[in-house]
Structure 1
Amino acid sequence: MQPIILFDGDCLFCHASVQWVAARDRKAVFRFASQQSAVGRALLERGNGLAGGTVVLIEDGCYYVKSDAVLRIGRRLAWPWNMLAAAGFLVPRPLRNFVYDQIAVRRHRLIRQHDRCPLPPPELRARFLDELPR
């Protein structure tokens, strides 16, 4: 099963992050689902009821959140992001998660708000999950 990124579908910063990841995911490894979608909610339930509002990476049946998810995503991206992510694992998790939490608290202010979320381009839309993976 391909790795799945669950993101906050109500957050423009998260939408922009998905587009940023997709642009650097040259092998189209990642699939995406909004945490508010039926697929996203079901996958969160499978993860023992993980709370939404943080990025979640599902990889090889394991669930990763916060900075662990971000760095594991980064390791699969093109250079130099993969090297930066590898170096990020040298930082202790409590410090990494503190930085993640500080960004998460401010994420709605980091990107200008719109009335509605923009639709992803067609080539990216195909990578969004409409049903649960088997």
Structure 2
Amino acid sequence: MSHWPDDDVILYDGVCVFCSRWVRFVAKRDVERRFRFTAIQSAYGARLAQTFGIDPNDPDTNAVVHGGVAYLKSDAALTVLGMLPGWRWTRVLFAVPKPLRDAVYSLVAKNRYRIFGKYDECFVPDAEMRARVME
């Protein structure tokens, strides 16, 4: 785990349809407006990714910085879900061994473009969400 000065930032692949839907899913349910978002294709997102050892040109994970610590793969997804109202029950999934959780995560991540599709360029958030995007 790496440290980062900004907190509650979700790093995602901005051209990935599934990843962009994940961001919209989180934004809609994040009633406290705690999370901010950055596409790995942005300058800020690329710096964040490189700090965590993620290749900005071939990302294999999303990440979330929470409490100054970066969480990757299934830890990232469960950390975010566990903080959303109505989704806190997902914290029990941390009991599943990390190698198993990450294997499932990696399988989806590896095939995300083929299964869900890919945008030609980063998706553009609506005006309300744009205030939560870090570039």
Instruction: Name the TM tier (shorter chain).
Output: 0.7 to 0.9
- Structure 2: 5+ residue stretches without partners: 1-5
In the other structure, the counterpart of 1:61 is 68
Distance 1:117 1:35, change over 3 A: closer
Task: Supply the AA of the counterpart residue of 1:122.
Answer: A
In the other structure, the counterpart of 2:3 is none
TM-score normalised by the chain length of structure 2: 0.84
Percent identity, aligned pairs only, is: 39
Deviation of the 1:86 alpha carbon: 0.9
Distance 1:50 1:67 in 2: 15
Task: Supply the AA of the counterpart residue of 1:51.
Answer: D
Runs (4+) off by over 3 Å: 49-52, 112-118
The counterpart of 1:78, out of the listed 74, 79, 85, is 85
Distance 1:77 1:105, change over 3 A: same
In the other structure, the counterpart of 1:51 is 55
Deviation of the 1:41 alpha carbon: 1.5
Does the 8 A contact of 1:13 with 1:111 survive in 2?
yes
Question: Is 1:28 matched up with 2:33?
Answer: yes
In the other structure, the counterpart of 1:15 is 20
Deviation of the 1:45 alpha carbon: 3.4
Deviation of the 1:60 alpha carbon: 1.8
Question: Is 1:105 matched up with 2:110?
Answer: yes
